[in-house]
Structure formats: structure tokens, C-alpha cells
Structure 1
């Protein structure tokens, strides 16, 4: 549903740099604590390239796609490591919401279609077309509203190879240290149509996806949802069966390798038990693998205490080691951080991708223009987790690292429909500001309205209700405007000015100060010149007072010679000239 890059989402807990974001979202998509993109485990140049349409995602849906509901996808995929190819059959079930004369899905033209059937009837080559990767299948007879239609598509070929996963995605065909094939998909920037026929849009999630992944019998194939067992065919091939409810389309993931599974149960504070699994390479240091797995429980406890119940408790909380850095994949998050320590007492990559189970998979933005709901709120969980673990000093240090990375070149939200490329790439959109600025805006909002109103707002945004319990909610989509309406209700005030001043302006609000005798005058200047009545705490010779800032202006008595400190608790995100001067110097 976020996430991340495109959900992908990956963001470092420290200094962050956009790497095409796994957009991962390439989590455009993963970034690392050093501030430099992590080299991909495998960098390969594809011989063939997908069309520009296929490489885009979150694009406007065709009229036929708006006229049908995606009920189920049943995907049987045989992965052929030696040929770097797949051989697959997809059965897609839809319900018409209005008269339907054709079914339209997306599928990469790199994959050759050998058969198309509608409700068991073979459709000849003249009955379907797939120009540029948008496949139109004419129905033998129209389907009226509430009618059902089932489409079967057989296809095969060599799917797009990721030039640099997860930032520039596709398939990763790697080799494990022990010599076996090690394969993963990372497709947030490009979308589900890279390897299965789908409607490549966040609002078109199927209600269920069943996966039947056939791989060499010496390998494992952990994937999304509940494990339904394996079938050993006795010919060197084994099929792994999975079933996932309401999955984010780009989050459907293939992961194949010589894995060892660590398993445990999480006893939720909401009364249910959640299976947890970590599939790591057989060649890994078992002590390091166990140490990472031991982090699952405290992270789950933090998120449940902070946001609400783990959204997919009847399936699993799953993580799999991958030959790329990582990406959020619903119930099977990709992890490739190599167990690195950074002195913060937790694995930032594991934590950030787990955030997307709430911010991205449970709650999905309706359009990429609202991607900060995934990345910004998800990134704010990291300074909050540092406080949970170590106290205020560590939270503030993390917020400062995020503050120092701001670009402020584009608004976080434009107010217009955008594609993921337009928001994740920092030459066209907010880029890493989705993460860092989004997090800092969330912090300023929390400081303004208080913990109770803030966290109740976040919970309502994620679950669509204030009292989530296992079994009383389902996945949902949301917008920035909806979050504003929730915040207004929970805080009992109209905070349109706050959202407008922070999210819809590229520049930060600027707090101007003038002294006239014993009077200190403060004035907020915003990108659009609108009033910004953000109260300001001022410390004068050690004594603190709050200046109301009605209409964006306020005054306070400050005797000549008194030491004045603005916002001593660092509660407000605002322009800081000294940071701009630092960044403007050569080499900064």
C-alpha cells in the first residue's frame, strides 16, 4: 500500500541521501546512514529495456480499470535461475462496477504472452493487444455491473534486470556466498507489471493474491502472506505456496535462495499472537542473524504502542535477506544491511521497512503526491524509537541529522496528481524531503497539538478508526487532506495554516526578529505570504514564555541586554540561516 519508494522505501536513521529512492521507495528507495548510496550487491545492465510506460507507476488508470474491482490474482511462477527467466500463469478475477467490454491490465512487453483466456474461452491474437505494456483484452460478451469475469494469461521470458536494485528495479540474479542462486525482485519504482499482470496503481490492490512459486528444490522461496506449504514434484523442483490479503501490488515479491528460517511468536499487547520469521542465508554468522531477529519483538512492541496493532497479524511479520539493500514488501520485508552496527542500538533498515507495514501497506496514499504519509510519518518513527530505547538525547540527535539534510527545493505536497518519479527524484520533486522534512513536520505538529491528539490522529489515519483491534479494520487509502481533517477534529482547531505553510511551500517558514527597546517583535514569513500563527516559546534570561503569534505576529518584553533564546526546546521546524550558510560553502 507505502510505501516506500514507491515505499520503497528505505530510509536511514541518520544522514540520508536520495538514491533514486528503492525508488524505496528507487524506499527511490533505500538510503544509508553514511549519507551515500549503498552499492548494490549486484549491478547488471539489462540487454533489453522495458517501455517508458512500464517503467512508470502510479499513472492514471484506463476507463476499463475504473469500471472493475480486482478480486483476486492467482500467480503460478516458475523461476529458472540458469536462464534468468520465468514461466508463469496468472488467473485474475474481477467484478464489474459498471458495464465492462474489455479487461485492461499492465504487463511488461519483455514477457511473451502465449495464451489468453476469458472465463475458460481462448482469445485469439486478434482479441487482445499489449502495446507499450498496457494490455487490453476484449471480452467475448460485455459484463454488466456486479458481473464476474476471470482472465487467464500465460506468459514467459526474461524479465527486466535491475540495473541497481532497489533504486532502479527489476529482478536481481545473484549468487549466494555458498554458490547457490540468490534471487530477488525489487520493483517499487517500476511497479507490479515488471513480472505479473496487474493494475499498476495504488488504488487497485487485489483483495487477495495467491502465489505458487516453483524453484529448484535446494532453494527456499519465502513470500507474502500466510505459508500454505510446499509441493516437491520429485523432479528437482518444489513449489512454495502463499496467500496474502489486500497486498500492495508492488509489494508482491519473489525471494529465492539457500535460506535458514528463524521463527518465533510475538505476543501482541492487543491479545493476539503474530508469527515472526526471518529467512537469512545459510552462510551467515548465526550469532549476527539471531541478534537481528532478537530486534523484531521490541520493534513490534514499539509500533503497537505508538500506532496500533500489527496490521497483518493473521499472516506474519516476515523479513528476508536479499542481495539488494532493502524494500518494504508486505509481510516479507527485504533486508540487505549486512547486520551493520551504527552505534544507535538498533538496525535502521529493519526498523524503517517495518514502519511501512503501517505507513504504506495498511494505509496507502491514494496518489504519489501524498507519499509523505508513507515516508515522512514512517521516518518520524525512528527518532521516536530512539527515545523509546535511549531517551531524549538520541531522539534530538536524530532529528538534527534529518534537519541538516533538508533541500527545500520543492514542496512536500504539490496539490496535484503526481507519479512516483515526480516525487521521489529530487530534481523534479521533494525527494528525500519526503522522509526528513516529513518527519520534522510531524514532530512540529506533535509539539503543537500534544501527544494525545497527535497519536490519535495517526492511529485514525492508519486504521480509519480510533479504536483498532485485530479483526475490526482492513487496509485503506488516505490523503493529506484527510489527515488534516482528522488532525482538526482531534486537536479541536483549524490547522489548515500549518499544513499549508509546511507541506505546500518549498521554503521553510522564516521567523523574523526585531528589537525596539525592551520589546522583542516576532513575525512569521511563509512561502505564500499567508498568516502562520505558530506559537513560539522564548527563553529570556532563563525564563520561558510562550508568545501566541496571532496572525503570525507577536511581541514579548525582553529587557535590553537580556539573553534571548528562541524555541529552546527545538519544537518548531523553521528556517535557520546558519544551516544555509554551512550548506552554501564549497564542499558542504
Structure 2
């Protein structure tokens, strides 16, 4: 770790909006009781009772110890009741500390041992307040009055509804998800449907995920869904299964509207590499909230609306997360910008490929107007940091747009983008690794500039003055808030290149200078 990055990671938490509690530390820190094991597989069974807005279930957690231990920490919100916990099929003791459960083994477990802990629980899970931003369980009705149950828990945490090691660094290699609900309701989750088991008054759907999965991506979608399937030929020549689940009354409009998902997948494959979860397929599932990137079961709730550019940005943005967020995943809540900045930048790449560079710039200009400059893009480590602001989306995408224009080599830029996706395929990563990768492969001194965008609230500020004498113009310029260690060259609209630093420089021109504010993210200050 470089000294500069270490300094940035130690920035006082006072710069961030959230006040951190003991519960946040328990959730966000890899304490000894969490660091001592890695999860291999979850086998989750959940019965959903819409009438009582309750759930009951079990989770079998298979893990391997990374060091000797006699205690592990799992997470489950305190309002849910633990009925019993077994370790190696023997009932064991545990203690609660808010949303954390500390489970004691019957004996000291050596390192490199595969173990299984089984948890039985029940209760009324937290209802969603404003999903997906303030999530939980959504207990709503479809237009015909039938139950419609969905879950959204990014930031809030999967432990809002099921027991798990709720830290982004530990994704299971695979997962089985069993959802039981009232007869007649279709229960959709991640991965592939293994079987449907019909019982006297309920139906149980067994889904299997065959890849690593972010825990906040694990989903329940329960409704009277219509379902259809298609097969798409990928750019690599292989077939990809596509599945769609929508309310029955929306089937006709959805079949037409969702056609854009195939073109989108091909565009993303071109720039980011093959679809990351081919065995599990791709699915869109209608939800009663706007959308979420639930892996291989993308939540869609934008009411079949296209924007002024002629596409549904929820389909595009949430599906982009299959690459950025689901395949490439952050290892700490502080690094969620990796998901959102790149997922949002993918929208601009989609627009450029489909409509051309001018339309993409128009799209980016619209995103730029949403930057608020209230909080840093990146957050503090080892706490349950929930980003309070949208700048990791829009300032983040403009950071990448700026880097592309500094590089001025689109072939290298998109080669690096694609190779980045392949290098971090199905991996957890962090700010340091991502910044180092882009800096190395673009072969430009961009690392310090990236860190400035990520950890400073304000943009680089260009102070400048213009003096005209007859047909000659003199522009003086400097960065007022960047150290000379940060390289941020600019190209004027007329093509002249300048390399501002903290010292005043000047350039002589035979025309009035114009700064290019569509290619770079910076503030300007004209001095008289």
C-alpha cells in the first residue's frame, strides 16, 4: 500500500455523513470471529406468509476455517427470532449482540476444517420504507389484489431477512435457495430453477446459483407471474438462456419492451467480455420497486418506460451490474463506487454504441447535472457505511469519462476496460487494486488524479485569465487545489494541449481560447 493511499484511507470519518455505531462496526469489520472462516455454500429455506407478513426458515452454512477458532459470528437482524443453532449437527450455545450472533463450537476447531452450522429462525422481517434505497420486505398487491412479495436490501444487508456472514468480502462459491409460498404464486430467485414442489396449500421453488454471489443480490420475488424463455446467441457463439417474469396483465407489453435486453447484452459483451454467469442465465423479474441488480434475476420496476433516448435505463443500468457489482465486487462497503460508477458509465457506452458519440455526450451532460459535490465517492473502511449520496454514480462516471479523454486512445481505453473485466472476473476487489490496475494498463500517471476524484468532494479547480491584444490572446492558467504530484493535462476545444500545475503558466493563441468542459470534469475560475 502506498503512503499516499494509506493516508487517504485514514481520512477522519468526520468527512462522511454517517455516524457509526457499535452495530455498524460489528457489521462492517472483519473481526476475529468473522475472519476465521470463509463461506463455501449456503442452503437457504424460507417459507413466506404474506397474510401475516412473516417468514420462517433455516440456513445451512458450510464453511472452511482459515485459522483455529471456537467461535464464529453470523448476522441476523435482532427483530428476527433464532429458534435453534446446530454446529456439526449438535445443538450449541450462542449469544446475541444486536444484529450479530456469536456461535460457540463444542470444541476448538483447527484451521482448514470444513464445518457446517445450521440456523433455524422466524419472525416479521423489516418492511421496506422506500425500496430499493431504504429496503426490506415489500408486502404489496398486484392490480388484481393478489399478494406480491419482493425483497431489496443493498446497504441494509441480507441479514435483514436471513442468517449469514453479512460482509461483502465473503461470497459463497454457490448457493441453494428454497422459497415456499401460497399455492398459485410463483417464487423467483437467483440462478436456475431446479424443481417446483407442490404441497397441500403451498408451492416450493428450489433455485440454485452456481457462481459466487453478493449476499444483497439474493432475492425473493413472489407473485402471479407470467413466464417465458428465449435463447440468445452470444458473440462467442455460445447460447445464453434468457428468462422473463412479469405480472400476467403486463405480459404482452413486456414481451415487446424487453426485446432491448438482447441488444444491450450484446453491446456489453463487446465492451466488457462474455456475460459473467452463463450457466445461470439472465433474467428480468418485475418488481414493485424501481430496480436492483439481483444476480441472474435482475429486478425491474420502471413501468415499461423508455427515456428520451429511446431505451429503458433501468434495464441497461441494472443489467450492467452483472459485470460491475456482481462479477466484479467490492470487498468493503467503502468501495461500492466500483459497482455504481462503472455501472453508470456503462450506460454511456451503451448510448455511444447504439446512437453515436454525440448522443453519448448529451447523455453524459445530463448525468453531470446530477453531481451534488456533497460527500466523497469512496467511503471509510470497516464500518457499515451506507453511501448517502449519488455522486458515486455520476461523479464516478465522469471520472472515467475524463480519464478516457486524457488518454486520447480509444483502442487502448476499451482494451483496458475489457481486460479489466476479465482480470477481475468473479473476484472481490477494492479501491487500491482498481486504481493500480487502470494506472498500470493505461500507462499514464493517472493514479493520483483518480484518488483525488474518489476522496475529495470538490473538483480540480482551474484558475485562468485571458488577455487579448489585437489578434493575439494570452491565457494564463494553473490548478489552484491540486498538488504538482497530480497530472491532469487538458486539451482546449481548438486542439491545443496544456499541462496545468500549481504554478502559473501561459499559452499564446491566435484565437479566443475555449475550455473543453464536455471532455473533462473540473471547475473553472476566471480571474479578472
TM-score, with length taken from structure 2: 0.90
Structure 1 residue 418 displacement after superposition: 6.0
Indicate conservation of the 8 Å contact 1:522/1:554, yes or no: yes
Report the aligned-residue RMSD.
2.3
Q: 1:289 to 1:186 in 2, by over 3 A?
A: same
Query: What does residue 443 of structure 1 align with?
Result: 401
Structure 1 residue 408 displacement after superposition: 1.7
Q: Separation in 2 of the partners of 1:315 and 1:552?
A: 56
Indicate conservation of the 8 Å contact 2:49/2:181, yes or no: yes
Q: Separation in 1 of the partners of 2:37 and 2:382?
A: 23
Q: Separation in 2 of the partners of 1:52 and 1:177?
A: 41
Indicate conservation of the 8 Å contact 1:507/1:526, yes or no: no
SS of alignment partner, residue 289 of structure 2: coil
Query: What does residue 359 of structure 1 align with?
Result: 324
Q: Separation in 2 of the partners of 1:205 and 1:227?
A: 21
Q: 1:217 to 1:524 in 2, by over 3 A?
A: farther
Q: Separation in 2 of the partners of 1:476 and 1:168?
A: 27
Q: Separation in 2 of the partners of 1:129 and 1:57?
A: 14
Query: What does residue 92 of structure 1 align with?
Result: 61
Equivalent residue in structure 1 for 2:30, among 48, 53, 61:
61
Q: 1:215 to 1:55 in 2, by over 3 A?
A: farther
Q: Separation in 2 of the partners of 1:192 and 1:280?
A: 24
Query: What does residue 281 of structure 2 align with?
Result: 316
1:534 is aligned to 2:488: yes
Structure 1 residue 243 displacement after superposition: 1.0
Indicate conservation of the 8 Å contact 2:306/2:313, yes or no: no
Q: Separation in 2 of the partners of 1:330 and 1:348?
A: 17
1:17-32 equivalences in 2 (<5 Å): none
Q: Separation in 2 of the partners of 1:409 and 1:113?
A: 40
Q: 1:289 to 1:307 in 2, by over 3 A?
A: same
Structure 1 residue 452 displacement after superposition: 2.8
Q: 1:447 to 1:131 in 2, by over 3 A?
A: same
1:170 is aligned to 2:139: no
Q: 1:420 to 1:521 in 2, by over 3 A?
A: farther
Structure 1 residue 299 displacement after superposition: 0.7
1:369 is aligned to 2:334: yes
Q: Separation in 1 of the partners of 2:421 and 2:503?
A: 32
Q: Separation in 2 of the partners of 1:254 and 1:370?
A: 26
Q: Separation in 1 of the partners of 2:22 and 2:216?
A: 16
SS of alignment partner, residue 432 of structure 2: helix
Structure 1, unmatched stretches of 5+, are: 1-27, 29-50, 426-430, 466-473, 579-588
Indicate conservation of the 8 Å contact 1:228/1:243, yes or no: yes
SS of alignment partner, residue 438 of structure 1: helix
Q: 1:577 to 1:185 in 2, by over 3 A?
A: farther
1:76 is aligned to 2:45: yes
1:188-587 equivalences in 2 (<5 Å): 188-233=154-199, 235-244=200-209, 245-284=211-250, 286-413=251-378, 416-417=380-381, 419=383, 421-422=385-386, 424-425=387-388, 431-449=389-407, 450-464=409-423, 474-516=425-467, 517=469, 518=472, 520-525=474-479, 527-539=481-493, 543-549=494-500, 554-559=505-510, 562-567=511-516, 570-576=518-524
Structure 2, unmatched stretches of 5+, are: 1-17
Structure 1 residue 91 displacement after superposition: 0.7
Q: Separation in 1 of the partners of 2:296 and 2:59?
A: 21
SS of alignment partner, residue 211 of structure 1: strand
Indicate conservation of the 8 Å contact 1:178/1:283, yes or no: no
Q: Number of residues paired by the alignment?
A: 503
Q: 1:577 to 1:545 in 2, by over 3 A?
A: closer
Q: 1:195 to 1:371 in 2, by over 3 A?
A: same
Deviations along 1:560-585, whole A, 9 cap, x unmatched? xx3322227x211111569xxxxxxx
TM-score, with length taken from structure 1: 0.81
Query: What does residue 44 of structure 1 align with?
Result: none
Q: Separation in 2 of the partners of 1:496 and 1:89?
A: 46
Indicate conservation of the 8 Å contact 1:403/1:436, yes or no: yes
Q: Separation in 2 of the partners of 1:287 and 1:334?
A: 18
Indicate conservation of the 8 Å contact 1:224/1:331, yes or no: yes
Q: Separation in 2 of the partners of 1:462 and 1:399?
A: 22
Indicate conservation of the 8 Å contact 1:519/1:558, yes or no: yes
Query: What does residue 31 of structure 1 align with?
Result: none
SS of alignment partner, residue 135 of structure 1: strand
Query: What does residue 469 of structure 1 align with?
Result: none
Indicate conservation of the 8 Å contact 1:55/1:189, yes or no: no
Q: Separation in 2 of the partners of 1:75 and 1:531?
A: 51
Q: 1:536 to 1:132 in 2, by over 3 A?
A: same
Q: Which one has more relative contact order, counting CA pairs under 8 Å at least 6 apart?
A: 1
Deviations along 1:203-226, whole A, 9 cap, x unmatched? 011111101111122010110112
Q: 1:58 to 1:270 in 2, by over 3 A?
A: farther
Q: Separation in 2 of the partners of 1:56 and 1:188?
A: 17
